[in-house]
Amino acid sequence: AQFEIVQIDLLACDLDQIEAFLIRELEKVLERGQIYPENAHYLKAQLGKNSALEKLGGIAGESGFSDTFDSLQQELERLPKKVLLNFEDIDRIRSEEVFAISEKLASDRVHVVFQYNKEALPGRLQEKEYLEKYVPFNVGLTPISFASLVGYFWDRFEMDPLPLKKDALSLIGVTRPSYETLDAKASFDLTSLVSIRKVQFYLEEVKVLLTSNEEFARQTNAETVAMVLLVKHFFREEYAALQAKTSPLKIFAFETEEGPRTLLELADRYRKPRQRVTAAGVEQRRAALEEVLQRGENSKHLWLLMLLGYQIPFQGGDEERNRKQKVQTEMHNAKIDHLVWNVMANGLWVLPGG
């Protein structure tokens, strides 16, 4: 290989300590090349003793880090290979300090690559002229499908023994869940939300929860657990809105002319009436319901509730059958609620900001 590659996962870093993190990583590269900077051991000892930059005081203040970077840059010139700094997830952070730091290190021997979703860049970085100051050359990458990433990490993490089928995850966004009792279907394009890192973290947590929690590991619960985690990792705003002891059926509301309504309220309002109606009347009700469900955020909320496995009771025929169906549906939905709340309480990863 022509390069010594340094991977920098910004979502896993404390951005307040990005300078210290880079110093550690670059010193590792030098040590592999049998090069030991004069100030490396002293600075490393201080970094090892102190977890926060502010505790370094005069040893590694603004000028201290600048001098250290200058020294490291000179030492990196002695390596037989060039160095490639690969910064991941630039679009997911709100600090531009990373660009200033990389500018200090960049040289003929030290090259920098930034990985980012152009559409998600924050603040001034969305301005072409400003971005080109730090990223003069751009290379577009072909999007990788959610299904492909699931397949890759599923095999890498050896997930076949889990009480969950790979297709239950890889087909998300491909198949369209539906409610026969509402004559409604929903779809959602995950493309803009997918990244390699997100899918990796998602499947890591799926595996950990399904192998460490007896309730989650039951065949009847595993898919629901995976879907709750899907909301957590790919729909942050919706996940943040979830509350313990409050059903998502009530939280994911649907906007109508009369104000927010739950899915169950919409079902009661638009379902087929018990008395016989004309074909035109049935089609009119169906069209009215579909228009409401596809409006704005309503479509996303419908899709998420379907993925989580919530059911809508069928109402038709005799009263006794309707009553039994309603009780069964309420019990099923209460079980989904319980699993949602337990996953919220037992999840492992604290999602990075951005």
Give the model confidence (pLDDT) of 193-211 as tens digits. Answer: 888 888 999 999 999 999 9
Give me the helices (H) in 87-135, please: 97-105, 128-134
Higher pLDDT, 9 or 273: 9
Q: What is the pLDDT of residues 127-161, one digit of tens each?
A: 888 888 888 888 877 778 899 999 999 999 999 99
Output the pLDDT for position 42. Answer: 43
Output the pLDDT for position 314. Answer: 63
Q: How confident is the model at residue 180 (pLDDT cuts 50, 70, 90)?
A: low
Q: Report the distance separating Cα 124 and Cα 104, nearest Å.
A: 20
Enumerate residues 6+ apart whose C-beta is below 8 A from 190: 146, 172, 173, 234
Q: What is the pLDDT of residues 124-136, one digit of tens each?
A: 888 888 888 888 8
Residue 273 pLDDT exceeds 60: no
Query: Quick check: 333 and 247 in contact, CB under 8 A?
Result: yes
Report the mean per-residue pLDDT for the chain. 82
Residue 232 pLDDT exceeds 70: yes
Q: How confident is the model at residue 221 (pLDDT cuts 50, 70, 90)?
A: very high
Q: Which residue is listed with tokens 């990373």?
A: 98
Q: Report the distance separating Cα 100 and Cα 137, nearest Å.
A: 17
Q: Is 42 left (phi over 0), alpha (psi -120 to 50) or beta?
A: alpha
What's the rounded mean pLDDT across residues 308-329? Answer: 80
Which of 66-70, 78-82, 122-126, 170-174 has the least mean pLDDT? 66-70
What's the rounded mean pLDDT across residues 206-226? Answer: 96
Higher pLDDT, 178 or 336: 336
Rounded percentage of the chain residues whose pLDDT exceeds 70: 81
Which of 9-23, 36-50, 183-197 has the least mean pLDDT? 36-50
Which of 48-52, 91-95, 243-247, 281-285 has the least mean pLDDT? 48-52
Residue 27 pLDDT exceeds 80: yes
In the DSSP assignment, the letter for residue 192 is G
Q: What is the pLDDT of residues 96-115, one digit of tens each?
A: 778 888 888 888 889 999 88
Higher pLDDT, 135 or 169: 169
Enumerate residues 6+ apart whose C-beta is below 8 A from 238: 231, 252, 300, 301, 304
Enumerate residues 6+ apart whose C-beta is below 8 A from 125: 90, 91, 96, 131
Higher pLDDT, 187 or 316: 187
Which tokens in the block code for residue 227? 């879907």
Query: Quick check: 313 and 200 in contact, CB under 8 A?
Result: no
Residue 5 pLDDT exceeds 50: yes
In the DSSP assignment, the letter for residue 17 is G
Q: Report the distance separating Cα 76 and Cα 343, nearest Å.
A: 47
Contacts 24+ apart (CB under 8 A), 140-145: 143/191, 143/194, 144/194, 144/196, 145/191, 145/194
The enclosing H or E element of 86 equals strand 82-88
Give me the helices (H) in the chain, please: 18-32, 40-49, 62-76, 97-105, 128-134, 146-156, 166-170, 196-212, 219-234, 236-241, 248-251, 263-270, 279-293, 298-308, 319-346
* Nearest Cα residue to 206 out of 188, 233, 173: 233
Most confident range, picked from 2-11, 13-22, 42-51, 242-251: 242-251
What's the rounded mean pLDDT across residues 56-65? Answer: 47
Query: Quick check: 326 and 313 in contact, CB under 8 A?
Result: yes
Query: Quick check: 188 and 303 in contact, CB under 8 A?
Result: yes
What's the rounded mean pLDDT across residues 330-348? Answer: 94
